[in-house]
Amino acid sequence: MAFDYNLDYKNLNLRKQPELYRVGKGEQGVLLVEPYKGEILPYWRFKTPEIAKESAEKIYELFEEYRNADDFVGMDMARKFIQMGYTRARRYTNYKGGRKYNEDGSIKERQIDEEKAESARIFKVYWDRIREDEDYLKRKKVHQKELG
């Protein structure tokens, strides 16, 4: 089921109401779902490879804490932040300032930033680890089957 953007996320605590959470596609809802946004966002950074490594490690540590607390929503939100670390770092790799389009709507020429590319590679390692995590995949399937 698709991520539900119609919920009042500002007034919801999805740790207390996990039945309202929908995985959705990719990073949908990553900056909406509380209390996870507040717990994970302060650690989400990718400016340099050193910062990206520290960020990805901390977010993965939170992923494991959520797993230990039997909190699938937290696990999935950590996955989304790691995925977003990869996708945003890739965007900044290709386009200075992260902007793909010129003011007239045309696509800017790519300018590869090797430092951001390395930041993206770091997040990709953690994202791949989660995408191959049998326990995470099992929990995701159960959540989707039971709750949507």
The CA-atom distances, in angstroms, between 82 and each of 16, 108, 109, 112, 116 are: 23, 26, 27, 21, 15
Look up residue 100 and give its two tokens: 């793909």
pLDDT at 98 (0 to 100): 82
Low-confidence ranges of the chain (pLDDT < 70): 1
Which own/partner contact pairs does 70-75 have at CB distance under 8 Å and 24+ positions apart? 71/15, 71/18, 72/18, 72/139, 72/140, 72/142, 72/143, 73/14, 73/15, 73/18, 73/21, 73/33, 73/36, 73/143, 74/15, 74/36, 74/39, 75/136, 75/139
Tokens 């900056």 found at: 31
- Pair 15, 71: CB distance under 8 Å: yes
In tens, the pLDDT along 88-120 reads: 999 999 888 888 888 899 888 888 889 999 999
Look up residue 4 and give its two tokens: 């539900």
- List 107's β-bridge partners, or say none: 101
CA pair distance 36, 32, nearest whole angstrom: 9
pLDDT at 64 (0 to 100): 98
The pTM of the full predicted model, rounded to 2 decimals, is: 0.92
Residue type, 66: Y
pLDDT at 113 (0 to 100): 86
Look up residue 60 and give its two tokens: 């993965």
pLDDT at 77 (0 to 100): 98
pLDDT at 1 (0 to 100): 67
Q: At what angle do helices 134-147 and 72-94 cross, to 10 degrees?
A: 110
pLDDT at 55 (0 to 100): 98
